[in-house]
Amino acid sequence: MNNLDALLLGIIQGLTEFLPVSSSGHLELGKAILGDTSVPEESLMFTVVVHFATALSTIVVFRKDIIDLLKGLFSFTWNEETQFSAKIVLSMIPAVIIGLFFEEELESLFGSNILLVGCMLIVTAILLWLADKAKNTNKKVSYSNAVVIGIAQAVAMIPGISRSGATISTSVLLGNDKGRAARFSFLMVIPLILGKIAKDITDGALTTEAGNISVLLIGFAAAFIAGLVACTWMIKLVKQSKLTYFALYCLMVGLIAIGYTFLYH
């Protein structure tokens, strides 16, 4: 992977992390198209680094919400902010279980598996289409909702299933307000990504030998800047109920990926 590849893949990650089109799926497609021949450790490290960049962009965009949540927590009262934080913790549990006990099986799915990505993009398209048809979306996220949304987030660890698409669609299908669904979706992933980074550092997975430093820095910067733009834009877009357009896009890319697999493999 060279610097130009890192720039392109970083932009792809930054844009697709917030758009409901599967950032991990697009990264896998991008690696396949660019002919990424990185060893698995380097490729995995790059993926982790650009995901951290988009987590940081989320923190910047939602900095006021995060500060309010922290103030609520440190007030040591069962207020609205504390309850929201508790729901985020509940939503994390399914993904944490998958990450801790099925990490090797999960990582085996990442390796330019174009057929898998294509099929999962079609699943994402169906979810988005169903969510766009949902009615009575005006509730707040409940505790039981948080668990179900968390399960959707765990399933979205498969490349091709959009994390934001799966969580927002699930939340909307449960009757939650689209704006609240988007806010919950973007905030709930921050602790998971930061936890993953901490785990990889502790395990010694993130070392300078595992990847080219300039490639990682360029990928990080590109993902962070693109993430700032995409996150701000996506918040407005979700409220306008335009998920069908993303469903059509995922369907098209998924079919192309499947067709590519049968034609060239």
Q: At what angle do helices 3-16 and 40-61 cross, to 10 degrees?
A: 50
The token duo for 231 is 């996150």
Q: Specify the pLDDT at position 125.
A: 95
Residue 236 binned pLDDT confidence (cut-offs 50, 70, 90): confident
As a whole number of angstroms, the distance between CA 155 and CA 122 comes to: 14
pLDDT tens readout for residues 132-186: 888 767 788 999 999 999 999 999 988 889 988 999 999 999 999 888 888 899 8
The token duo for 93 is 């549990």
Top-confidence residue, 79 or 17: 79
Domain boundaries, the chain: 3-264
Q: Are 148 and 3 spatial neighbours (Cβ–Cβ below 8 Å)? A: no
User: Which is nearest to 3 in space by CA: 39, 32, 34?
Assistant: 34
Q: Give 176's strand partners.
A: 139
CA–CA–CA angle 136, 137, 138 (5° rounding) = 100
